[in-house]
Amino acid sequence: MSVALASQLREGTKKAHTMAENTGFVSCFLKGVVDKASYRTLVADLWFLYSAMEEEIGRLADHPVVGPINFAALNRRESLEQDLAFYFGPDWRNQIRATAGAQQYVARIHRIAKESPELLVGHHYTRYIGDLSGGQILKNIAQKAMNLGEHDGLRFYEFDAIADEKGFKTNYRTVLDNLPIDQAMADRIVGEANEAFHCNMKMFQELEGNLIAAIGKVLFGFLTKRQRSGSTEAVPA
């Protein structure tokens, strides 16, 4: 029995999607306020997350529900490794640590892969299709905000193996709609996709604290400099 899973995922995650976009970290990012230290922490967290997802989905390549979404063209682990080498250097593996939110997210991926692997579809849709859809916009924002070269530290957003993004997403939706699931499982997958958004929000909230601290340091330095210069001009709000 096939169900219209693609449209159910799109409609059923709208609220969670909006909530994720309104977190302080993402909101600042979209406005071009990007702290490199916070961003490279995000890249590290994403490496742990995508490593777990690609390990489990690869292991389940013959699974009737998970197997059909195992598109190698979407894989992000190698791209993230290139970005980590840029931000941390060749010894990046010994320098990165997953934040608490990322650790919880990774643990959830491994747990549902064992207990109910069909639910991985919700995580796959939330992360990969989101990355593909908004990748170029986010890449341009990050590049400008951190004054980076065209590819430096931005490989995560580049899907070189996908020449036609629109065509790929159309095919992906067709695959989702033809997965051998019933409505009860579709409901569970949509529910898990919402959980995926919440997992992402936890990671963003941790990074938000780092971003606020970084902005605070910049403002403190700015105010201190003005005081040393003896300026009495009002500091703009």
In angstroms, what CA-CA distances link 107 with 16, 38, 56, 118?
Answer: 21, 22, 12, 16
200: phi then psi, degrees, rounded to nearest 5: -65, -40
Closest by Cα among 156, 50, 26, 27 to 102: 50
Residue 237 falls within a domain, yes or no?
A: no
Domain for residue 196, yes or no?
Answer: yes
Distance (Å, rounded) from C-alpha 56 to C-alpha 127? 15
The rounded distance, in Å, linking the Cα atoms of 197 and 130 is 11
Determine the structural domain holding residue 22 and report its residue range. Answer: 5-229
CB 56 within 8 A of CB 110: yes
Q: Decide if 235 is inside a domain.
A: no
The answer as to whether 236 is a domain residue is: no
In a domain, 217, yes or no: yes
Other residues' Cβ atoms within 10 Å of the Cβ of residue 105: 26
pTM above 0.75, yes or no: yes
| Domains contained in the chain, number | 1
pLDDT by residue for the chain (237 residues), tens only, comes to 579 999 999 999 999 999 988 888 888 888 888 888 889 999 999 999 999 999 999 999 999 999 999 999 999 999 999 999 999 999 999 999 999 999 999 999 999 999 999 999 999 999 999 999 988 888 999 999 999 988 899 999 999 999 999 999 999 999 999 999 999 999 999 999 999 999 999 998 888 765 554 444 444 343 444 445 554 343 333
Instruction: For residue 219, give the CATH number of its domain.
Output: 1.20.910.10
Q: What is the pLDDT of residue 123?
A: 98
- Token pair, residue 17, equals 């999607």
Query: Which residues are within 8 A (CB) of 177 and not within 5 positions of it... i.e. 6 or more apart?
Result: 2, 3, 4, 5, 6
Q: Is 155 among the domain residues? A: yes
Q: Is 199 in contact with 105 (CB distance < 8 Å)?
A: yes
C-alpha atoms less than 13 angstroms from C-alpha of 64 in its C-beta half-sphere: 6
Secondary structure E strands in the chain: none
The position carrying tokens 């070189």 is 160
The pLDDT value recorded for residue 21 is 86
183 found inside a domain: yes
User: Is 234 part of any domain?
Assistant: no
What distance in Å separates the CA atoms of residue 44 and residue 47, rounded to the nearest whole number? 5
102: left (phi over 0), alpha (psi -120 to 50) or beta: alpha
CA atoms of 155 and 33, how far apart (whole Å): 20
Four-CA torsion 18, 99, 33, 15, nearest 10 degrees: 0
| pLDDT given at position 211 | 53
